[in-house]
Amino acid sequence: MKFFRMPSDDIRMNLATEEYLMDNVVIQEPCLLLYIQKPCVIIGRNQNAYQEINVSYLESESIVLTRRTSGGGAVYDDLGNMSFSFVTKKDAALFGDYQSAAQPIMKGLAAMGATGITVHGRNDLYIDDKKFSGNAMYTKKDRTYAHGTLMFDVDLDALTHVLHVAEEKIASKATKSVRKSVTNIKPYLAEAYRDLDTYAFRDALLCHIYGVSSMEEIADQELQLTGEDHQAIEQLFHDRYANPQWIFAEAPAFDWQKRKRFERVGIVEINFSVAKGLITALQIHGDFFGQKGIESLQDHLIGKPFEAQSIKEILSQHPVDHYIHQMTNDEFLALLFH
């Protein structure tokens, strides 16, 4: 397994690097990417920025906002968080199998004293009934990308100000406090690791994952980038992750909104307008995952008759679960028409 420690502490540059490596590195074996960044919020590919975060608070605190290319919910990172990504060949990982994807991280943490880690819900890692890691996954071409956050020493008070918690999630988790439902992993580590900063924690975790006693022993496994690589990453930074159009994806006003939380799927929200019996505008938001971009499903439906049988026929050719993982065509139809 190869690895790469991101040199930047800007989430936008790190996501650009991640995407570039995923598209351009020859994957003969799994690749583990690790990055640490200044305070920021990353929303999922399918989310509405204005609904998920407190934009005014972000601006007042100079917290960076960006959007990732995978699904899932909004997350807050600061220098107390370590993010990780596994890139594998598509046929080497089952889409949605977060436990397998996070297994090396769980194994390394267990070796550092954090035992009793479990996978809860669709994609979260828990310890002592509290979440410390959220994960997302997507496929592109012949590769699968599994990304996760790992809260080592995050400012939990800032977290409560930044993120809005959807009512559906509050109901499903029986809590009205973000603060009470999450934790840092640091207190659960063996005492020898509790005084480390996040960078030293990252390297110690890497050593345990590889089963070595020092970073020098695995120096030949770290990827090296060229000047040409850095130039391409810089362009991607400006074109996508620092681009307000990509981040906010502002939607027009819609006549109707349908919204529901599904246990297997997550929150699905459909905003749409109908004129003269035709769907004239449509956007689908939520914290769901999908192997294909939700924009493709939207394009298939816009301009079509707003009639159940017509939509059913379209979905028979373009199944919903390709775009919204584990959602059935019938569930989508029921949400749209009831």
- What digits encode the pLDDT tens for the residues 151-181? 999 998 887 778 765 555 534 443 333 444 8
pLDDT of residue 179: 46
pTM above 0.75, yes or no: no
Which is higher by pLDDT, 104 or 241?
A: 241
Which is higher by pLDDT, 116 or 100?
A: 116
pLDDT of residue 206: 95
pLDDT of residue 50: 66
113 has a pLDDT exceeding 50? yes
pLDDT of residue 177: 37
pLDDT of residue 73: 77
Closest residue by Cα to residue 132 from 80, 201, 196: 80
Please identify, in words, the CATH class of the domain defined by 2-248. alpha beta
Instruction: List the single range of 97-101, 143-147, 167-171, 194-198 with lowest mean pLDDT.
Output: 167-171
**AA identity, residue 249:** A
**AA identity, residue 294:** I
CA torsion sign for 119, 122, 128, 132 is positive
218 has a pLDDT exceeding 90? yes
The DSSP secondary structure of 283-332, one letter per residue, reads EEEES---SS-HHHHHHHHTTSBS-HHHHHHHHHHS-GGGTSTT--HHHH
Residue boundaries of the structural domains of the chain: 2-248, 256-337
The pLDDT confidence band at residue 40, using thresholds 50, 70 and 90, is very high
Closest residue by Cα to residue 136 from 303, 290, 310: 290
Q: What is the fold of 256-337? A: Enolase-like; domain 1 (3.30.390)
Would you say 290 and 71 are in contact if contact means Cβ atoms under 8 Å apart? yes
Which is higher by pLDDT, 191 or 177?
A: 191
pLDDT in tens, 242-265: 998 888 765 556 688 889 999 889
Buried b / exposed e along 291-317 (16+ C-beta atoms within 10 A)? bbbbeebbebbeeeebeeeebeeebee
pLDDT in tens, 24-36: 877 677 788 999 9
For 32, 95, 254, the CA distances from 225, given in Å and listed in that order, are 15, 29, 45
Which is higher by pLDDT, 118 or 96?
A: 118
Across 294-303, average pLDDT: 95
pLDDT of residue 53: 78
Q: What is the mean pLDDT of the chain?
A: 85
Identify how many contiguous H helices and E strands the chain contains and give both numbers.
14, 13
pLDDT of residue 171: 45
